[in-house]
């Protein structure tokens, strides 16, 4: 007969090893995380091809730079129509939908925001948006896709903790999209959950590791913006830190506060009109025309993600002095149109442009200015300072300017909070949450009516 201590050891060994049922759940969870990494890589490749095709079309001949005047309005209208009619809840970034889904207790409610149908539409329409010149990125959409894939894994494997799965999928999406595993974990804790739970964050960590490994297996090790290690050596450099932090936070608050204010007013006016679909599509077409005009005025610099411009600034190549204003307007109008697409990459490009302009005026390093501008502006837009500085450090493998980048992020966050109290993603999530609740109540009323008729 085994002693009590031996029985206790056997029970602990079984708990650690787990049964076949436990290992089956683990395997499905890992498979879902690996799928996020694979989808992220494929999404990135398709997005790059779409942007390259657009650039090729607009540089094919002497007058082809005017082609966006046709492509952008039609493309925006198409994306808006498809999102409204066939892929509801695919509009915009995708991060607000993931946040809203965490506040829903019903599996049916969560699936309205994070289904595979929505995920497929999100990828497809984001690629179309880049194909017609939209100032959007793929990173926010990857968060929604990652959360949807992880919820699907949970349904297949019978995994509990839907909120934890959404966090894990969101973190894995950010980590795989940027190749920034630490930023993925910090993003899930700081922006998605606003709190720390050891058990849930264990899921997040495992998902980030597995998705990162699958992505690295396909594309290898890389840093998103290359390697940049500018140092802060003079008084001008520290003054540049203050300007990029405070200025970036102010412009970030202008973007996020303006977006929350205008989107609510436009949404209310469209919903109370007699033809909401037509008004929505017309708004998208007008925004597409505005994007084309800004792109032509900027010499084509504001189309797409802005990755090339941001990387050039990080490598020390100065951007035009007003580039950050033009890119900010293009990103704002694209997001206001409601077409699917994220703001991560465009926001980093705006910040790099702001830092490049400030560094040119201060006579400091363009590379340093770009990093500080990205930190200040990004923290101002999303009001997540830890995510801002961690993601920038990881994207550039920077070791020399850690303290200035952290300071710029905190200044950007503090300035933005003073000017715009509500975080952008959480403010936008309210409308998706309200839509999901209305749809659920309508479905319940319809089911009740059908039961009454049958009785």
- pLDDT tens sequence across 181-194: 888 888 888 877 66
Domain end among 185, 219, 253: 219
Residue 43 reports pLDDT greater than 60: yes
- Give the model's pLDDT for residue 11: 52
Mean pLDDT over residues 361-378, rounded? 94
| pLDDT tens column, 224-248 | 887 787 877 788 889 999 999 999 9
Q: Does residue 446 form part of some domain?
A: no
Q: Are residues 148 and 200 in the same domain?
A: yes
Closest CA to 148 of 122, 123, 114, 181: 114
- Give the model's pLDDT for residue 441: 79
Between these two residues, 447 and 220, which has the higher pLDDT value?
220
Closest CA to 144 of 100, 183, 210: 100
Instruction: Note down the domain range covering 387.
Output: 235-432
- Give the model's pLDDT for residue 201: 65
Q: Does residue 449 form part of some domain?
A: no
Are the beta carbons of 170 and 147 closer than 8 angstroms? yes
Domain end among 219, 254, 275: 219
- Give the model's pLDDT for residue 195: 59
Domain end among 187, 219, 251: 219
Q: Does residue 227 form part of some domain?
A: no
Residue 8 reports pLDDT greater than 60: no
Q: Are residues 163 and 293 in the same domain?
A: no
Are the beta carbons of 413 and 385 closer than 8 angstroms? yes
Both tokens of residue 270? 């469209």
Q: Does residue 296 form part of some domain?
A: yes
The reply to whether the predicted model has a pTM over 0.85 is yes
Mean pLDDT over residues 65-84, rounded? 95
The number of domains in the chain is 2
Alpha-carbon gap, residue 160 to 167, rounded angstroms:
13
Q: What is the DSSP letter of 228?
A: -
- Give the model's pLDDT for residue 197: 58
- Give the model's pLDDT for residue 159: 79
Q: Are residues 251 and 194 in the same domain?
A: no
Q: 10 falls in which pLDDT band (50, 70, 90)?
A: very low
Q: Are residues 338 and 290 in the same domain?
A: yes
- Give the model's pLDDT for residue 196: 54
Are the beta carbons of 410 and 385 closer than 8 angstroms? yes
Residue 104 reports pLDDT greater than 70: yes
Q: Are residues 83 and 203 in the same domain?
A: yes
Percent of the chain with pLDDT over 90: 55
Q: Are residues 213 and 357 in the same domain?
A: no
| pLDDT tens column, 390-428 | 999 888 887 888 999 999 999 999 999 999 888 999 999
**Rounded to whole angstroms, what are the CA distances from 182 to 20, 122, 141, 447?**
31, 25, 19, 45
Q: 96 falls in which pLDDT band (50, 70, 90)?
A: very high
- Give the model's pLDDT for residue 18: 58
Q: Any idea what the CATH number is for the domain that residue 199 is in?
A: 1.10.3080.10
Residue 363 reports pLDDT greater than 70: yes
Q: Are residues 323 and 247 in the same domain?
A: yes
Q: 215 falls in which pLDDT band (50, 70, 90)?
A: confident
Q: Does residue 315 form part of some domain?
A: yes
Q: 300 falls in which pLDDT band (50, 70, 90)?
A: very high
Q: 78 falls in which pLDDT band (50, 70, 90)?
A: very high
Q: Does residue 13 form part of some domain?
A: no
Q: Are residues 362 and 275 in the same domain?
A: yes
Q: Does residue 413 form part of some domain?
A: yes
Q: Are residues 184 and 144 in the same domain?
A: yes
């Amino acid at each position: 007969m085994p002693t009590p201590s031996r029985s206790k050891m056997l029970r602990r060994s079984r708990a650690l090893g787990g049964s076949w049922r436990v290992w089956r759940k683990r395997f499905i969870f890992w498979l879902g995380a690996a799928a996020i990494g694979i989808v992220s890589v494929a999404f990135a490749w398709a997005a790059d091809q779409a942007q390259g095709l657009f650039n090729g079309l607009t540089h094919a001949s002497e007058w082809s730079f005017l082609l966006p005047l046709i492509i952008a309005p039609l493309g925006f209208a198409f994306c808006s129509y498809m999102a409204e009619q066939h892929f509801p809840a695919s509009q915009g970034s995708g991060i607000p939908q993931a946040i809203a889904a965490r506040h829903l207790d019903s599996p049916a409610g969560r699936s309205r925001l994070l289904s595979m149908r929505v995920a497929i539409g999100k990828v497809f329409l984001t690629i179309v948006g880049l194909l017609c010149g939209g100032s959007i990125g793929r990173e926010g959409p990857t968060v929604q896709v990652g959360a949807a894939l992880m919820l699907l894994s949970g349904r297949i494997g019978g995994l509990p903790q839907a909120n934890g799965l959404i966090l894990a999928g969101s973190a894995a999406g950010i980590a795989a999209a940027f190749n920034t595993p630490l930023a993925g974990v910090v993003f899930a804790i700081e922006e998605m959950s606003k709190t720390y739970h050891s058990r849930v964050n264990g899921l997040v960590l495992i998902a980030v590791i597995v998705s990162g490994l699958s992505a690295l297996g396909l594309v290898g090790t890389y840093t998103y913006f290359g390697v940049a290690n500018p140092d802060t050596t003079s008084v001008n450099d520290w003054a540049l830190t203050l300007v990029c932090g405070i200025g970036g936070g102010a412009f970030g608050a202008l973007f996020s506060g303006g977006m929350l204010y205008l989107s609510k007013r436009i949404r209310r006016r469209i919903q109370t009109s007699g033809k909401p679909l037509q008004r929505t599509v017309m708004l998208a077409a007008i925004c597409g025309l505005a994007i084309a005009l800004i792109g032509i005025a900027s010499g084509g610099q504001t189309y797409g993600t802005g990755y090339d411009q941001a990387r050039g600034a990080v490598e020390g190549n100065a951007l035009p002095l007003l580039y950050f204003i033009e890119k900010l307007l293009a990103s704002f109008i694209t997001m206001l149109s409601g077409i699917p697409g994220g703001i991560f990459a465009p926001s980093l490009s705006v910040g790099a442009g702001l830092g490049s302009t400030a560094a040119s005026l201060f006579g400091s390093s363009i590379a340093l200015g770009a990093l500080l501008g990205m930190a200040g502006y990004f923290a101002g837009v999303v009001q997540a300072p830890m995510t801002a500085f961690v993601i920038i450090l990881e994207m550039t493998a920077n070791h020399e300017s850690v303290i200035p980048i952290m300071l710029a992020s905190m200044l950007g966050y503090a300035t933005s909070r003073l000017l715009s109290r509500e975080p952008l993603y959480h403010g936008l999530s309210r409308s998706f949450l309200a839509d999901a609740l209305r749809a659920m109540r309508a479905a319940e009323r319809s089911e009740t009516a059908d039961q009454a008729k049958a009785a």
